[in-house]
A and B are shown apart, each in its own frame.
Chain A
Amino acid sequence: MKTPLTALALAVTATAAFAEYPDKPVEVIVGYSAGGGTDVMARTVAQFLEQELGDGASVVVKNIPGAGGQIGFTEVSEAAPDGYTLGTFNLPAALALTKDRAADYDVDSFTYLANFVEDPNTITVAATSQFQTLGELLDAAEADPGAITLGLSSLGGNDHFAANMMQDASGAEFTLVPFKGASNARTAIMGGHVAAGTMTLGQTSNFPDELRVLAVLADERSPFRPDVPTAKELGYDVQMSSLRGIVAPAGLDEATTDQLRAALSAVNENPGFQEMMAEQGNPIAFMLGDDFAETVSEQDGIASRIWAETPWK
């Protein structure tokens, strides 16, 4: 009796192992509440990923908000690397928070599948501001160190790093004012409560008449705002952006990794996907596998350096 049963059990396990991935729903963990920018991206990717994985595959988004995304990132890093748990990954936030507090994961805890969104930071003032160019703003901040207030969404994020790198590159000194979220910072700029601010280009895009974007902190001008110069053109070699991609836990086997990367590439090439992302105001910067991992380690280096030089808490 015993032997046939064992054999049967073995046979079942074997078929399961050889069954085509995915044979059950794939979960995408989002470390923020439903309806945020990252959540919307995850749901859009999930919808197209289902098609690309084919065969009635099901991709489910699960929100595990809390501690600035940390609870969700931790959940992904600790999940079984079987391809059934993926997660969204926000840079530099996900790694910055491993510097300033105890975290149960680090840069090596993930298999980097693909990055979808890259939204470059900007230096922005109100449309009514006296500062017409980045140079004028930086001169004022250099002439009277600390007199220029700079609004940002929080300490330890891309806004903060952008401000820090801008100060290092120019010798200017700002008073950094970390609001709760980019919209509050933006409102304070528009209301004249802070002199300037740094936020991503996407966060400025719906306020063309209210805000003046002085520079974008990227290698090249953005196709969305070709009229705005890069800081690099103006003589300050500073790049900072907010990135959003898809990761899996570290140790995902090669076959599944390749299959997922191929599927995510196909998602990116789908015109329907491109159209939806554009509608949501998400600038796509697709990076696959190693390219993504390389950007991640660069960002990790920046966060470590800034934390070492000017710890923010």
Chain B
Amino acid sequence: MYSDLLHALPDVFAWTNFAAVVIGVIAGIVVGAMPGLSATMAISVLVPFTFGLEPLVALGLMAGIYNGAMYGGAIPAVLLRIPGTPAAVATTFDGYPMAQKGEGGFALQVAVVSSSIGGIASAFALMLLAPPLSKVTLLFGPSEVFWVAVFGLASIIFLLGGNPIKGLISACFGVFVSVIGSDPIYGNDRFTFGQLELLDGINIVILLVGLYALPPVIDLLETPLKTDGVNSSKLGTEPIWKALPRMNYWKTWLRGSFLGIWIGILPGAGGSMAAFMSYNEARRTSKHPETWGEGEPEGVAAAEVANNADTASALIPALTLGIPGTAVAAVMLGGLLVHGLQPGPMLFRDNPDIVFGFMWQFLFGAILLVLLGGSLATNSFARLLNLPRPLLGSVIIVLMLIGVYSINGRMFDVYLMLGFGAIGWVMDRLKFPLPPVVLGLILGGFAEENLRLALRIGRGDPMVLFQNTTSLILVALTVAVVVGPTLKKRFIDSRKKA
């Protein structure tokens, strides 16, 4: 198979194929940077057009967009506290405080370098380890995946921070939203009020855009004359090669890449969970956890490395088994199908030049990110903040409306988004944290579906959840994550007393 890899390389450098990656990365950054437009959307809009393109041109565009957008989402997350994509939520935690301190330029540079590193690691995993990693995916049946979701929720619950009660209420709201739609087994309608549009459940992007983008826009418009504390002259931009030596995050990068790759190969969870877990782990092991959330560059690095590290790895189960690891990978599968490329082991045998070429394109997309992303973000997008606030706010609102409308091409979703926006604004005012809502929606639905499948397989016997090694390992990890910090604290306290 490694000879196939090399054999596929020359085609990748055909100028049209390479240009596709470059254009894809730039388009991806732009799309990711616009609140409301996501990689999933950009690629689904692209899929019909790729019908007439050469496979490697089409796939190169998609690989570029995916890589670009996962970084692009960080730009508004840092500058405006609006995550451009679902995966960039964790980037707001430290990115935005950095921007407020006048370090926005450095935050963006950390983001681009970390994204690139994550993307490169992920591309290598896809190129070199796809077959063995797809065997790992096979180990995860419904009961194992259920425990992954529980583990994810448990390890992230510490993100609730400040007020755990408010955090739990937020998480419950997210889980409630995940329940809307037809139930995953029988297809009974739940809270749909006869609306066909709600039957498929609520798209995460609709929730995210409403919840996260509308409140800051309202803030922008409430004080139209205030000039921003942050503007590009204060971004603190310096050339990226000068900024590089300040980035000594090897451990975080390594851990984040590993987590991103691992979560990518599990079906369904996707980029947001990878970013949250990486952020959480990096903070937990940090020597100075108290600076996190107040502008710690390593926090940006942790989130951004992980949300790019699951890009290519999410394609491992997608290409080998037909089960995409993320929503974006699901849309990309459609793009492959358009070219008659059916997932499965035969894909690697029948079309090695295309499949391995696609993998190379992922790698080059990730590398190009540093070259294109750094200057694009700091030189153009950051200047957006110089716009008058009413203009900036209106532009964002227009983007939100377009983005949400184009998911399914219906106004219903736009109204839904505005409704979530109103809820988000109230929550923001009452200081309810927003990240647990997003996680509740993602992991809640995921946990429910798999729990019910597992119980069906076990014919109602809950012991089915504890019947194999993988499940038991995950249970142990969950317990460790929940009990660990308390035990550690007690241990330290008792040592102090002694």
Contact = CB atoms under 8 A, between A and B. Distances in A.
Contact of A313 (B140, B187, B344, B456): B187
Interface in A153-197: 154-156, 175-180, 183-184, 186-188, 190-194
B141 interface: yes
Given A33-B44, A67-B196, A207 B334 contact: no
A257 interface: no
Given A67-B196, A179-B453, A187-B323, A206 B343 contact: yes
Which bucket holds chain A's interface residue count? 35 or more
A33 B334 contact: yes
B1 to A, nearest CB: 15
Contact of A34 (B47, B323, B343, B345): B47
B398 interface: no
A72 B317 CA distance: 29
Interface stretch (A12-20, A37-45, A223-231, A260-268): A37-45
B456 A187 contact: no
Given A35-B335, A70-B196, A208 B457 contact: no
B interface SS class: helix
B139 interface: yes
Contact of B185 (A63, A65, A155): A155
Contact of B199 (A66, A186, A207): A66
Contacts of A156: 187
Contacts of A35: 44, 47, 331, 333-335, 337-338
Interface in A119-150: 146, 149
A25 B187 CA distance: 36
A208 B408 contact: no
Nearest to B340: A279
A27 interface: no
Interface string B29-73: 000000000000000100110010000000000000000000000
A47 B48 CA distance: 12
Given A66-B408, A67-B199, A183-B322, A155 B456 contact: no
Contacts of B138: 187, 190-192
Interface string A41-78: 00100010000000000000101111110110010000
Interface in B443-471: 449, 453, 456-457, 459
A22 interface: no
B186 interface: yes
A186 B321 contact: yes
A33 B47 CA distance: 10
A62 to B, nearest CB: 9
A206 B340 contact: no
A313 B199 contact: no
A207 B350 CA distance: 12
Contacts of A289: none
Contact of A68 (B140, B185, B199, B346): B199
Interface string B316-334: 0100011100000001011
B137 interface: yes
B344 A207 contact: yes
A203 to B, nearest CB: 8
B184 interface: yes
Contacts of B346: 205-208
B291 interface: no
A63 B48 CA distance: 10
Given A36-B334, A65-B408, A155-B185, A43 B345 contact: no
B187 A40 contact: no
A193 B346 CA distance: 23
A37 B459 CA distance: 33
Contact of A100 (B44, B142, B187, B457): B187
Contacts of B322: 183, 186-187, 206
B348 to A, nearest CB: 10
| Size class of the B contact interface (CB-based, 8 Å) | 35 or more
Contact of A149 (B340, B344, B347, B457): B457
Contacts of B457: 149, 175, 177, 193-194
Given A34-B47, A155-B187, A280 B337 contact: yes
A70 B181 CA distance: 14
A63 B342 CA distance: 21
A43 B338 contact: yes
B56 to A, nearest CB: 17
B334 A209 contact: no
Contacts of A33: 44, 331, 334
A66 B196 contact: yes
A191 B139 contact: yes
A184 B323 contact: yes
A178 B185 contact: yes
A107 B317 CA distance: 38
A188 B142 CA distance: 8
A71 B412 CA distance: 13
B239 interface: no
A293 B200 CA distance: 29
A39 B334 contact: yes
B343 A183 contact: yes
A276 B52 CA distance: 13
B137 A187 contact: yes
Contacts of A100: 187
B334 A190 contact: no
Contacts of B338: 35, 40, 43
A281 B342 CA distance: 8
A152 B139 CA distance: 19
A82 interface: no
Question: Which among A39, A156, A183, A279 has the greatest number of chain B C-beta atoms within 10 A?
Answer: A183
A143 to B, nearest CB: 16
Interface string A72-115: 00100000000000000000000000001110000000000000
Contacts of B321: 183, 186-187, 190
A210 interface: yes
Nearest to A313: B186
Nearest to B347: A206
Given A177-B453, A183-B322, 11 more contacts: A35-B337, A64-B408, A67-B196, A68-B182, A71-B197, A179-B453, A190-B321, A192-B141, A193-B457, A206-B342, A281-B342
Which 3 residue pairs are nearest across A and B when measured between Cβ atoms? Answer: A35-B334, A206-B344, A193-B141
6 contacts: A34-B334, A35-B47, A39-B334, A156-B187, A179-B453, A187-B138
Interface of B: 44, 47-48, 51, 137-142, 182, 184-189, 194, 196-197, 199-200, 267, 317, 321-323, 331, 333-335, 337-338, 340, 342-347, 408-410, 449, 453, 456-457, 459
Interface of A: 33-37, 39-40, 43, 47, 61, 63-68, 70-71, 74, 100-102, 146, 149, 154-156, 175-180, 183-184, 186-188, 190-194, 205-210, 276, 279-281, 312-313
